[in-house]
Structure 1
């Protein structure tokens, strides 16, 4: 024991210092003090001297800069210069334009939960709330989604006029230019409410307020462009679209083949310097009705009219629809969700340089501009659309499952349906929290590149799963389209959100972790910049400032991962929350340390090869995503006063995410590209093996009951969805029947008991209730309850039918013009 004691003391000091992230000098002093104590306690002098030598061997070179820089830092810098691959233009710009919020704490491995909970609670202004309660509510009452999707394949003219008159297209445009000047939170709330009744209308409103000319002009336009275009966009005089995607450029937008050549040409009767554009775009929302087109293209100056640079780069321009040579193509038809969408083409279309967004000064900076706006758009429009659909789907399906009876029992009482209802409720709860959190990040001034990717991917993916479970529960009600169907169009539209603004497969496997591991990591980006600094002395100085902090952080995460795994993350202090939520924060600390550890090991072992290991990147991205989602959920729960009624939803969401985190970590380790390294990491991450389990049956039953009974948690979950009952809102009608149906259930049970026993012999319902009153089984008032229950049940379960002629197209399709035109 006397021999082992000094080494145990050294290990203990190192583990303690690493866990608490003490400075290196503090660690050295602590370890030295323990070794002195060991000597005084009679430990082996030889062992004590060996342990002291080991301490000095590490501490002296690292603590003394004159030794550290030439002996340690310089060789590392040389290795990094050779090992790090050059960043592509897409990657470099993405890293330059993003900002980092709480997600950076997750990569650090030691999240500051107090900082998260200290963020201001997201709240609407009185003006924004009035707009939501007034024009938005009125818009939703006017929407007839069946007529839009089946009869007109478009919004009716009066709805277009209502949107323009009430400045729905100008929500993000500042008031000084005639817009509403709303916050990102208000934008989120408006899109969420509209999406709960019609995805077509939400897309129509969402696009001008996300990635479009309005935001680009506001952020980057010249003063002349702002003064002219923003008031026209706010008033709906101009309807905008933005042309980015083309047949040969999807996820890698910097590779777009559309080009513009700097030259002189005629504009409004004058010979001016401008750009001659050739482009071929598709999937452009609002293109068929747009009057103002934003366009991304690659700008070239072969004759040096602007300077020495020939390939200026991605540039953005504004094209009025009537610009000679602009060809607005025929409409696309996106999965029976016919929002205005189509191709735009042009060949040698001349515009002056004044039509470049931001003028000549912003030429070549288009991808930077787009990347910021894409982050904001992904943060709001698509997550908010998913949230509106999920909220409405959760409460309406819960009501349907209570009202709809099979074998004399509400279908929601069957365990298989309970499982599906729990998934719907839990996912809707997460989607709602996540979509609000990303909008709040935008309002705090962030450009949330990584959170926006998380929100876009997980909100739209979870919403698709919600839609699937809704369709499974309501059965024929969902598959027979018509005015009574509240779910069919949502099911058809679900893949659209999965696809647009970056396909979800690419977002998961390339963007979330790929961008996050560099942008959000506390040291990696600084080290990359140091390694790529052409000034060797400056690079050495910069690397020396972060390298050893990074090493210490990595050791800390290894120690914390092991300790949290061994103790079940129980022995922690200083955490926020109450007795119920504190255990959640403890567990998240463990998984944050796991993520940080695997990030450092993956980057260190694989280097530039990591970006090609998409399966590993996707799994680590899943860990990051679920950590961030649970942070959003806990933040929302805290902001709402930690209501007890919401605990089943919170618990289901948390246990589901923890199960997904452990699954992703397990798969990452079992399939780690360097297999022995994966084996070595396993005991640091799972010293007792995987312990997390998916939400259990009892918890699922509690969540299902929340959806099938009126209660405050259900009301909070539904908040923000349009549930006003009316002829245009079958989901709202079904939801409004829930309390009435529950009140009639005792009478229904008495009636069914008498019916099954043979006491009532009539064969049809009107005669049966008449006989029940005559026999004294029910009273006259109870008969009225049963008749009302019968009526609302019929409205809940009935589907539509049509004459064959009603389902035929109003006109035969025109001959197809042929294959997509090619641009030379």
Structure 2
């Protein structure tokens, strides 16, 4: 029976797979093998095991990590003057650099045995998040050495000698690292890289040494202008076969001191009014000894795998931390400003249009913070989820953009006029930088999240593709024959589950025990996990390799996977917080918004599916009733907005980690006005009831003379009036044209 199946089914199917699916390049193979699958695989299984996610518990800091955040991080934020850094000096002051080195901010992830802090991913993320609420430029400066770069690569792949020499020097700031990947012609496309090295013998310290002669031109290199050590990516060739039989050795990564002969450090770029150091560098016939390769000669050609492995973790921390910090700061300060700023004698946060925007900001901050916590918690547990990291990078930066845009709209002129009092403008300008670096979001969304995720997370597809790639046809047939029955049974279960939950709109889907109020949302995520898995099977089977070129279909399916992940994290965070009743409005708004996006993305997949019949069929099978979940109501938006406009545990929990400013700066002025306005609301209402609409020294005097308020209330209201007046002020300058 087995032989017959192989002859009449498996062998023809193997030929079909080879024909339909494109060959996997070495670069693609290494990208897919980097990192690991985690909760993303559960979401693409059609039946997620929620215990895997919920049993991790909340992320936790050690006493030492919390003390560092409360001490050196708080002190660093107090030292920072972002206006001076970004606009007046266009660089980070020497005293800040010295403090960063002294307190080992550049060694957050480096183990203590090498002189670093040895902190967890959660601590690393919380540190960058808090700094970013004060200054994106300083946040980036701290972020880069602890993310993709020499430090992380050395820890994972370096030789003992390299670790012993470089890691202590990186930890205390004697060495400032940068990483040179992006080239002028190829961008970050490693396969098209034009930077090359040739294996040869050269003179090093007066001795004939085996090494490489390297030429490169890199740009957009963060910390490049001040770096002392350059992590360099290039393609290595061996035409004289000095290290092996192959002429093309592949993508390689080496450490190059920037004072090496032939290295040129270019002038600074100025990225979107940000003051972090960024610039180009060149190398012309630079001789590099073989032991400068990270990990030594045995790592020749393994550079792309090394980078992808590092990126799987670093991309889930760095830019998501910056984005989460920005969104939380936008939520806290926009809520405060909307409470103290009045129009027509009403706080602007009472207008329905503003309330909707406030609710959106609160929801984005809640979701991003939840996903951020969950992702770093997974990293704490040793996971390196590559697809999840791509989701976090893309959707955290998208979320920051949406939150800051809404915050700018509500602040209006307060956010448009530059100056020390403007705490939003520089974050607004930083958003395009965050969206385009570490993998531009358009390509990450269109190609990586689903393109990589569907293959990596599928229980059988990658193995089937490997079987098709096997040069030994008989071995490939044997391997595929083992996988085929399992895959077919998986398809049957997926089809039945997707249809059942689609037609019953998830009413009968399961939910974990002990989740109470949130059970209805777990059922919906289970429903859409089943539907996404079915849509994925149909897409892969019908389109094959063509799916690669249908970027918008891939992007929309990736959006579904991304929303499932973000909403899973939101539910986990709600449970980790003890399922507080006060936070339900945030959960409700966020879940409805995300589920509505999932439905919209699926409907757009069906409407635009290349095979029209299959598109209509998927629609009929999985969403016969169309939209079943609508975005939050106006009443729900109002409740969420109110959470940002009054002191509460929910507001503090949502915006934990935001630096609240030094006395007299923009953030502090608005925060203090907010506290005063809320504390004296009753006295203010007395004036309004008496028909006194404006609050100023004259109207307060009038109210006191009419005995509408007491002397004490009058004094408090004078303080309120002064604080509000300061809170709504913007900066002005001398005529700069003179």
Change (3 A) 1:699 1:725: farther
Q: Aligned partners of 2:376 and 2:198: how far apart in 1?
A: 39
2:673 alignment partner in structure 1: 737
User: Contact conserved, 1:398 with 1:421, CA < 8 A, in 2?
Assistant: yes
Residue 330 of structure 1 aligns to a residue whose secondary structure is coil
Q: Aligned partners of 1:265 and 1:120: how far apart in 2?
A: 55
**1:566, CA displacement in angstroms?**
2.1
Residue 276 of structure 1 aligns to a residue whose secondary structure is strand
Comparing 649-658 with 577-586, which one deviates more in the overlay? 577-586
Aligned residue among 536, 539, 557 for 2:494: 557
User: Contact conserved, 1:437 with 1:632, CA < 8 A, in 2?
Assistant: yes
**1:251, CA displacement in angstroms?**
4.1
Comparing 600-609 with 574-583, which one deviates more in the overlay? 574-583
User: Within 5 A, what are the aligned runs for 1:273-672?
Assistant: 273-573=210-510, 575-672=512-609
1:750 alignment partner in structure 2: 686
Q: Aligned partners of 2:251 and 2:473: how far apart in 1?
A: 31
Aligned residue among 730, 733, 738 for 1:799: 730
**1:587, CA displacement in angstroms?**
0.7
**1:318, CA displacement in angstroms?**
1.0
**1:695, CA displacement in angstroms?**
1.5
TM (normalized to structure 1)? 0.88
Aligned residue among 709, 719, 732 for 1:788: 719
User: Contact conserved, 1:562 with 1:687, CA < 8 A, in 2?
Assistant: no
Q: Aligned partners of 1:684 and 1:764: how far apart in 2?
A: 61
Residue 44 of structure 2 aligns to a residue whose secondary structure is helix
**1:74, CA displacement in angstroms?**
2.6
Q: Aligned partners of 1:567 and 1:83: how far apart in 2?
A: 35
2:705 alignment partner in structure 1: 774
2:623 alignment partner in structure 1: 686
**1:573, CA displacement in angstroms?**
4.3
1:145 alignment partner in structure 2: 82
1:76 alignment partner in structure 2: 13
Residue 451 of structure 2 aligns to a residue whose secondary structure is helix
Q: Aligned partners of 1:77 and 1:768: how far apart in 2?
A: 85
Q: Aligned partners of 1:713 and 1:324: how far apart in 2?
A: 57
**1:253, CA displacement in angstroms?**
2.3
Change (3 A) 1:251 1:676: farther
Change (3 A) 1:66 1:310: closer
Task: Please give the per-residue CA displacement for 1:570-603, whole angstroms capped at 9, x wherever unaligned.
Answer: 1244633433111111111111111101111111
Q: Aligned partners of 1:752 and 1:609: how far apart in 2?
A: 66
Q: Aligned partners of 2:511 and 2:345: how far apart in 1?
A: 52
Matched, 1:203 2:140: yes
**1:257, CA displacement in angstroms?**
0.5
**1:614, CA displacement in angstroms?**
0.1
Q: Aligned partners of 1:543 and 1:587: how far apart in 2?
A: 34
Task: Please give the per-residue CA displacement for 1:439-465, whole angstroms capped at 9, x wherever unaligned.
Answer: 222222222110000000000001000
**1:792, CA displacement in angstroms?**
1.5
Q: Aligned partners of 1:752 and 1:688: how far apart in 2?
A: 50
Q: Aligned partners of 1:699 and 1:106: how far apart in 2?
A: 28
Q: Aligned partners of 1:576 and 1:622: how far apart in 2?
A: 28
Task: Please give the per-residue CA displacement for 1:98-123, whole angstroms capped at 9, x wherever unaligned.
Answer: 30101101111111112211123211
**1:503, CA displacement in angstroms?**
0.6
User: Contact conserved, 2:323 with 2:397, CA < 8 A, in 1?
Assistant: yes
**1:637, CA displacement in angstroms?**
1.2
User: Within 5 A, what are the aligned runs for 1:19-30?
Assistant: none
Task: Please give the per-residue CA displacement for 1:230-289, whole angstroms capped at 9, x wherever unaligned.
Answer: 000001001111110011122422321011111122222222121111110000000111
Q: Aligned partners of 2:702 and 2:364: how far apart in 1?
A: 46
TM (normalized to structure 2)? 0.98
Change (3 A) 1:274 1:423: same
User: Contact conserved, 1:554 with 1:596, CA < 8 A, in 2?
Assistant: no
Comparing 67-76 with 511-520, which one deviates more in the overlay? 67-76
User: Contact conserved, 1:98 with 1:519, CA < 8 A, in 2?
Assistant: no
User: Contact conserved, 2:229 with 2:258, CA < 8 A, in 1?
Assistant: yes
Task: Please give the per-residue CA displacement for 1:697-726, whole angstroms capped at 9, x wherever unaligned.
Answer: 111111101111111111110112212552
Matched, 1:223 2:160: yes
Comparing 555-564 with 171-180, which one deviates more in the overlay? 555-564
User: Contact conserved, 2:266 with 2:280, CA < 8 A, in 1?
Assistant: yes
User: Contact conserved, 1:477 with 1:799, CA < 8 A, in 2?
Assistant: yes
Task: Please give the per-residue CA displacement for 1:53-76, whole angstroms capped at 9, x wherever unaligned.
Answer: xxxxxxxxxxx5454333322322
Change (3 A) 1:568 1:750: same
Structure 1 residue ranges without an equivalent (≥5):
1-63, 758-762, 809-824
Task: Choose 1 or 2 for highest CA Rg.
Answer: 1
Residue 490 of structure 2 aligns to a residue whose secondary structure is helix
User: Contact conserved, 1:113 with 1:576, CA < 8 A, in 2?
Assistant: no
**1:552, CA displacement in angstroms?**
1.8
Structure 2 residue ranges without an equivalent (≥5):
none
1:92 alignment partner in structure 2: 29
Comparing 788-797 with 64-73, which one deviates more in the overlay? 64-73
Change (3 A) 1:665 1:114: same
User: Contact conserved, 2:567 with 2:591, CA < 8 A, in 1?
Assistant: yes
Comparing 495-504 with 437-446, which one deviates more in the overlay? 437-446
Q: Aligned partners of 1:721 and 1:359: how far apart in 2?
A: 43
Comparing 679-688 with 647-656, which one deviates more in the overlay? 679-688
User: Contact conserved, 1:80 with 1:531, CA < 8 A, in 2?
Assistant: yes
Residue 342 of structure 1 aligns to a residue whose secondary structure is strand
* Cα RMSD (Å): 1.6
User: Contact conserved, 1:254 with 1:367, CA < 8 A, in 2?
Assistant: no
1:7 alignment partner in structure 2: none
User: Contact conserved, 2:503 with 2:621, CA < 8 A, in 1?
Assistant: no
Matched, 1:156 2:93: yes
User: Within 5 A, what are the aligned runs for 1:687-706?
Assistant: 687-706=624-643
User: Contact conserved, 1:353 with 1:359, CA < 8 A, in 2?
Assistant: yes
User: Contact conserved, 2:503 with 2:622, CA < 8 A, in 1?
Assistant: no
User: Contact conserved, 2:697 with 2:721, CA < 8 A, in 1?
Assistant: no
1:35 alignment partner in structure 2: none
User: Contact conserved, 2:324 with 2:372, CA < 8 A, in 1?
Assistant: yes
**1:794, CA displacement in angstroms?**
1.7
